[in-house]
Amino acid sequence: MPKMIFVNLAVADVAAATRFYEAIGFVKNEQFSNARGSGMNWSDTIHVMLLDRDFYATFTPKRIIDAKIESGVLLALSFDDRAGVDAITDAALAAGGRELHDPQDEGYMYSRAFEDLDGHGWGPFTMDMAAMQAAHAGDAA
């Protein structure tokens, strides 16, 4: 079995959150979905579980943050190029998300950032590893 990640997010409205994630390219996995949560696939190894806040609470005794005013996690997704970064961010904004800052271009890395409907932050990026290593070659000296 390959190593996989399942990110669990507390959401106020499972149906609305599901529509948002479908709009930015995730695919709903009906096998892991019901009225209390939606299993959303980004790839064969990366999954996001959108869980109703009450259902999410059954997995932890801790207080559940309100991601619109508190940060509990920052999530990043890599892309092959700027077009992919821009496409997911533009789709997120069109689906009701909020852009967190202007695009950032470090030369070797390009990124943007958005929040979903519940305030969970995502940072899509692309990086040219050879250019990054060249840019930081002098840092080690």
Domain 1-62: give its CATH superfamily.
2,3-Dihydroxybiphenyl 1,2-Dioxygenase, domain 1 (3.10.180.10)
Run of H or E residues at 51:
strand 46-52
d(CA 29, CA 9): 16
d(CA 112, CA 79): 11
Are 1-62 and 72-141 equal in CATH topology?
A: yes
- For residue 91, pLDDT over 80 is answered with yes
User: pLDDT tens digits, residue range 9-25?
Assistant: 999 999 999 999 999 99
- For residue 115, pLDDT over 70 is answered with yes
pTM of the model: 0.89
d(CA 24, CA 125): 15
Token reading at 15: 């149906």
Closest CA to 15 of 55, 67, 50: 50
Rounded to a whole number of angstroms, the distance between the first and last alpha carbons of the chain is: 42
Indicate the domain borders of the chain.
1-62, 72-141
Closest CA to 5 of 36, 33, 43, 38: 43
User: pLDDT tens digits, residue range 23-71?
Assistant: 999 999 999 999 999 999 999 999 999 999 999 999 999 999 999 999 9
72-141 belongs to CATH 3.10.180.10: yes
